[in-house]
Structure 1
Amino acid sequence: MKIIINADDFGFTKSVNEAVFTLAKKGTLTSTTVMVNMPYWEEVDKLLEYPNFGIGLHFNITQGKPILNASEISTIVNSETGEFYEFKELRKRSKQGKINVNDVYKELKAQILLLKQRVGDRLTHMDSHQGVHKYKPISNAFLSLGKENIVLGLRSPHHLFITDAIVPEVVGIKNIFKFGIKRYITEMYYRKYNVAFRKYYVMPEGELLNINLKKVDTFEALEKLIALEKLYIEIPCHPATSITDLPKTKLTDKRIQEFEILKSESFKNSLNKFQLISFKDLKK
């Protein structure tokens, strides 16, 4: 089994960046994705000293101010604050048909080019803050960018779950009662996007997640899995060394827990039966 372990939110705060630096040196992270509209994103330069470490874009249109002038992308920016709409409002507006896909595309292109100017050929992949690329019209903007032959890796919206089995399970008709109807419908929805994105991006089979949806439990359950040779998966995470410079969300306290696990010797030892890779190791 080949595993990508990616830390989201680089550039968000000093404590997030410090966690990425520590774990990159430790060898328990294989990549990070950068929020280029956040205050500390330019510290990505420090990661260039790790030649096999992947660097990607954490496309963000739900927090902070845009890279472009707000007047150029007016349907995704709150005119009163000059900042992006928060996630719930963005989803609401997208369902109401108030988001212009071209506005999303222009900001996506601006963010990816800004990061590429900084790191050059070290740019390997993309994902999105709060998983917005799983929803229209953001997904359409990603597809438009992919058609330009910008060969990059992309996070799969599809999931593989750690259950009581010793291999990751994909939700389907055969195990629908284990996961439930709601999860089955959700995964079918994600699978549709998975197929569409694969036409233009290199992608792992999916994101590995514990059946209870807790990231900490995902990490702790790795030890029991059989390392299937041909399986390529990603485990996204959100580590930070402190919460003092972070806004209070459901994720805040979990960041510290993830960091403590990822930096532990026991976790590093649990990775020995897997091959750690980054998105540059995936083939189209």
Structure 2
Amino acid sequence: MRLIVNADDFGLTESVSRGIIKGMQEGIITDTTMLTNTRHFDRSIDLAKEAGIEAMGVHLNLTLLKPLLVSGKVKSIVDNKGSFYRKPSLIPSTFHKEEVRAELRAQIEKFLSSGLTLTHIDTHHGFSVVHAEMFQIIIELSKEYRVPMRKDDALTDDPSIKYQLAESGVKTTDVLYVDFSVPMLQESALLGMIAKYKQTNTTVEIPCHPGFVDDELRTISSLNDKREEDLQLLLRQEWFGYMKEQGVELIPFSQL
């Protein structure tokens, strides 16, 4: 099997970015995706470049902080304070597709302006599956920028969304391995996933949320102290030998 260990939320805070970089340099994190609408974007880009990281994905976002575009241009997806709704379920079903597309494209273009290479796209809080039309926008952006996307159809039972991705021709993994019963990555999940797919040609993505924690993170994210638990799990050096024994190849999205 081939395994992508993908760290979400690069750029959320400088401490989160530093933690992810440590996990990529010393642990089994193989890829990451960046939030582009935080005040830590520029510093996080600098940290990545200093660490020799030349490519990553974009963590498309409609549920945290404010949009990149002025709120008047994206009225259908922001609240009366001009901020994104905090949960995908709160995004109005009357959202305008062109507003969503314009904002998400702006996020990708901001990332590309950094000089880093775009490897893939995924979505913060899995907002892509709130509606089939929303999912179609993500597919279209994957095609436009010629990059893979996360297999978000695993987050829903909607058959129309599953059909969309299957018929799109967009590159993705065979499996998105998530456990909704726990908020963070567990050792048992990693071991179970390897046991299930080690004798196959399956390509699996397992998302994670590692990072160092500071006071700012605690004010903006419900996932805070547990991020350091994620990081410590992914830094265990014994994973390298174990995965080699099990025939697991660690890869980034660029190798799909």
After TM superposition, the score normalised by the length of structure 1 is: 0.78
Match of 1:277 in 2: 251
Unaligned 5+ runs, structure 1: 160-185
Q: Which of residues 137, 148, 168 is equivalent to 1:141?
A: 137
Unaligned runs of 5+ in 2: none
Relative to structure 1, the CA distance from residue 271 to residue 48 in structure 2 (aligned partners, 3 Å threshold; closer, same or farther) is farther
Q: What is the aligned-residue identity percentage? A: 25
Cα distance per residue 1:120-154 (max 9 Å; x no partner) = 4x211000110111222421321333453x21110
Contact 1:45–1:119 (CA under 8 A) maintained in structure 2: no
Output the amino acid matched with 1:91.
S
Per the alignment, residue 73 of structure 2 pairs with: 72
CA pair 49-4 structure 1, distance change in 2 beyond 3 A: farther
In 2, the alpha carbon distance for the partners of 1:229 and 1:51 equals 32
- Aligned ranges for residues 43-62 of structure 1 at < 5 Å? 43-48=44-49, 54-62=55-63
Residue 204, structure 1, aligned to residue 170, structure 2? no
1:103 counterpart (74, 99, 105):
99
CA distance in 2, matches of 1:256, 1:153: 28
Cα gap change, 1:244 to 1:143, in 2 (>3 Å): same
| Structure-2 change in CA distance of 1:108 and 1:64 (3 Å) | same
* Aligned residue in 2 for 1:24: 24
Work out whether residues 73 and 103 of structure 1, in 8 Å CA contact, stay in contact via their aligned partners in 2. Answer: yes
Q: Whose radius of gyration is greater, 1 or 2?
A: 1
2:119 corresponds in structure 1 to 124
Deviation at 1:20, TM superposition (A): 0.9
AA aligned opposite 1:145: L
The answer for the alignment partner of 1:84 in structure 2 is 84
Deviation at 1:211, TM superposition (A): 7.9
268-277 vs 8-17, which moves further? 268-277
What whole-Å deviation, never above 9, does each CA across 1:72-92 have from its counterpart, x for those lacking one?
A: 11111223x2211211xx524
Q: Which residue of 2 aligns with 1:112?
A: 108
Shift of 1:270: 3.0
Does 2:240 align with 1:268?
yes
C-alpha displacement of 1:93: 4.3
Change in CA separation of 1:265 and 1:145 when aligned onto 2, cut-off 3 Å: closer
Q: Distance between the aligned counterparts of 1:20 and 1:129, measured in 2?
A: 16
With normalisation by structure 2, the TM-score equals 0.85
SS in 1 for 2:216: coil
How many angstroms apart in 1 are the aligned matches of 2:197 and 2:140? 38
Q: Structure 2: which amino acid aligns with 1:33?
A: T
Partner of 1:164: none
Counterpart-to-counterpart distance in 1, 2:101 and 2:25: 34
Q: What's the C-alpha RMSD, in Å, of the aligned pairs?
A: 2.5
Amino acid at match of 1:264: R
Aligned residues: 248
